[in-house]
Amino acid sequence: MAETAGAYAFDLNQFFPEDVFWRITDVRVDKPEVVALEQRARRRRTRLAPDGKLVILAADHPARMSTATPTDPLGMTNRHEYLGRVLRPLVGGQVDGLMATPDILDDVFIVNYLVRQGGGPSFLDGKVLLGSMNRSGLSNTVFEMDDDMSAYTAEGIAAANLDGAKVLWRLDPNEPGSGKTLMYIADAVNDLSEMGLPSFLEPLPVQRTENGYQPTKDPIELLKQIGVLAALGCNTARTWLKIPVCEDYERVVRATTMPLLMLGGASHNDPEPTIREFARGLRGGPNVRGAMVGRNVLYPGQDDPLAVGAVIGEIIHSGIGPDEALAALPAYRDRNIDLLTRYALA
């Protein structure tokens, strides 16, 4: 295990007390217009990736009935804890942004409003906010591969002043739903392209097991699926791909000229494996341009999600090595731990 927590343990309630959490419901009831106002007021980047690289936090798993954390099969159903762990890296400034479903992003906009109402700074200005589109392929259902756009639409993403969209494709050659999903994604890429918005497409090899579909890191399947997703739509100029680090990664990344983001997968309950994997993946090729990582930042064992997101940001943007990143973790722990209590409860 990394030299992570030792005697340290991140205290979620110190950062995101229940008093702040339940104020979100008050705003949803009394001032639902706040979400749209915050969306319009947010200052977006003039360029998506000023240095050509991105670290995006992923927070769309519960919408697909993927709820397990390392210690609890229903851990991500605790919205207070889940949302607090999503917010934590965002207030630190070292991650570029967030990819999520509308419910999560709306909660985040409301918290940003509460902070600004208390005299604090917007923690969303300049962040890359991406909408997750297809969530209807619910985990362990007979229709899992028929994964239509049940969250954001391209029009909804533009109306919400977001910066782009993420879409997932999983292939089961024996399941017609995979083919239907491919057409849904092609339509989404075309709609987003017409609006000048980037698409972040995720080809995820899976295999059917007695416990449902499980992701694999098969380089042969990735090579094939990258070619399929990269060709979707009439205009691919704004297409990014999100792929796992795997064996023979140098060959895999040469399957496309598109910029690639590494994905994190299920939580290791320890930040060290992900930190080392991302540092290795960056050496795969010049088109590896960052990471879109969720559970391995949100649930890094006892460590602070802000600290883990920050050192991954340093790996991607500054090129530090994994040992240096692990040594830097303590310096980031508990940074800005009082931001929400200082402003959102003012």
pLDDT score recorded for residue 6: 62
pLDDT score recorded for residue 1: 44
Dist. CA 198–CA 196, nearest whole Å: 7
User: For the stretch 293-322, what's the b/e string if a residue is b when 16 or more beta carbons lie within 10 angstroms of its beta carbon?
Assistant: bbbbbbbbbebbbbbbbbbbbbbbbeebeb
Dist. CA 87–CA 322, nearest whole Å: 24
Per DSSP bridges, beta strands 206-209 and 212-215 are antiparallel
pLDDT score recorded for residue 2: 47
Dist. CA 58–CA 131, nearest whole Å: 10
Question: DSSP class of residue 44?
Answer: P
pTM over 0.85: yes
Dist. CA 106–CA 162, nearest whole Å: 12
pLDDT tens-digit profile, the chain (346 residues): 444 456 899 999 999 999 999 999 999 999 999 999 999 999 999 999 999 999 999 999 999 999 999 999 999 999 999 999 999 999 987 899 999 999 999 999 999 999 999 999 999 999 999 999 999 999 999 999 999 999 999 999 999 999 999 999 999 999 999 999 999 999 999 999 999 999 999 999 999 988 889 899 999 999 999 999 999 999 999 999 999 999 999 999 999 999 999 998 888 999 999 999 999 999 999 999 999 999 999 999 999 999 999 999 999 999 999 999 999 999 999 999 999 999 998 7
Q: Which regions of 238-338 does DSSP assign to beta strands (E)?
A: 239-244, 260-263, 288-293
pLDDT score recorded for residue 5: 52
Judge contact between 296 and 267, C-beta under 8 A.
yes
Q: Which domains does the chain have, with CATH numbers?
A: 12-343 (3.20.20.70)
Dist. CA 213–CA 142, nearest whole Å: 11
